[in-house]
Structure 1
Amino acid sequence: MSGNSNMKFLYAGIAIALLLSILAPFLASPDPDGLESAAGGVIEESKMSELEEMEPAVSSPMPDYAIEGMGKSGEIMAIAIGTIAVLAISFGLGKVFNKKA
């Protein structure tokens, strides 16, 4: 692959990732995910309630993949910001570890 086609592939991947981040709040299931569902089947309900009521060790800047008070647009923004952050961190780490000696 040439450098130009690599860049087109990269841009297409970024566009697809951002499109998915925009569509995710509308496509996501309101039912608990597999991990929550599996934990509910293994852990007693009283213990599960205790765990859910506990304060987290570190608070999330955007809990439940949303920005509070913004509704669906807050969910879209939170997921898009997270997607962009992961892409930027990955790009930065790639630059750091791709240094030629």
Structure 2
Amino acid sequence: MSGKANMKLFYAGIVIALLLAVLAPFLASSDPDGLESAAGGVVEESKMSQIEETEPAVSSPMSDYSIEGLGKSGEVVAIAVGTLAVLVISLGLGKVFSKKV
């Protein structure tokens, strides 16, 4: 594959990832995810409430994939920012580790 074709594929991937970020809040289920429902069936109710009340070690800047007070648009922005952040971090690490010694 040529460099130009690779760049087209790269940009298409970014567009698809951002499109998914925009659509995800509208397509996501409001029911608890599989992990929560599985834990509810395995862990005792008293222990489950203790786990839920525990404070996280590090608080998230955009908890629950949303920005408080913005509704669905806040969810779209949070997911898009997270997607772009992961992309930038991945590209940065790729550049660092691909340097030839």
CA distance in structure 1 between the aligned counterparts of 2:50 and 2:16, rounded to whole angstroms? 39
Stretches of structure 1 lacking an aligned partner (at least 5 in a row): none
4+ aligned runs moved over 3 Å, structure 1: none
CA distance in structure 1 between the aligned counterparts of 2:37 and 2:46, rounded to whole angstroms? 15
CA distance in structure 2 between the aligned counterparts of 1:55 and 1:100, rounded to whole angstroms? 43
What is the TM-score normalised by the length of structure 1?
Answer: 0.96
CA distance in structure 2 between the aligned counterparts of 1:55 and 1:95, rounded to whole angstroms? 36
CA distance in structure 1 between the aligned counterparts of 2:98 and 2:53, rounded to whole angstroms? 44
Stretches of structure 2 lacking an aligned partner (at least 5 in a row): none
CA distance in structure 2 between the aligned counterparts of 1:26 and 1:98, rounded to whole angstroms? 38
Which residue of the partner structure matches residue 87 of structure 1?
87
What is the TM-score normalised by the length of structure 2?
Answer: 0.96
Describe the SS at the equivalent of 2:99. Answer: coil
CA distance in structure 2 between the aligned counterparts of 1:76 and 1:86, rounded to whole angstroms? 15
Which residue of the partner structure matches residue 45 of structure 1?
45
Matched AA of 1:39: A
Listed as ranges, the matches of 1:1-101 within 5 Å are 1-101=1-101
Query: When the two structures are aligned, how many residues end up with a matched partner?
Result: 101
CA drift at 1:51: 1.2
Instruction: State the identity %.
Output: 77
Measured against aligned partners, the alpha-carbon deviations of 1:30-88 in whole angstroms (never above 9, x if no partner) come to 11111111111100112111211221111111110011111111100100000000000
CA distance in structure 1 between the aligned counterparts of 2:81 and 2:35, rounded to whole angstroms? 24
CA distance in structure 1 between the aligned counterparts of 2:57 and 2:98, rounded to whole angstroms? 35
CA distance in structure 2 between the aligned counterparts of 1:37 and 1:30, rounded to whole angstroms? 13
Matched AA of 1:35: L
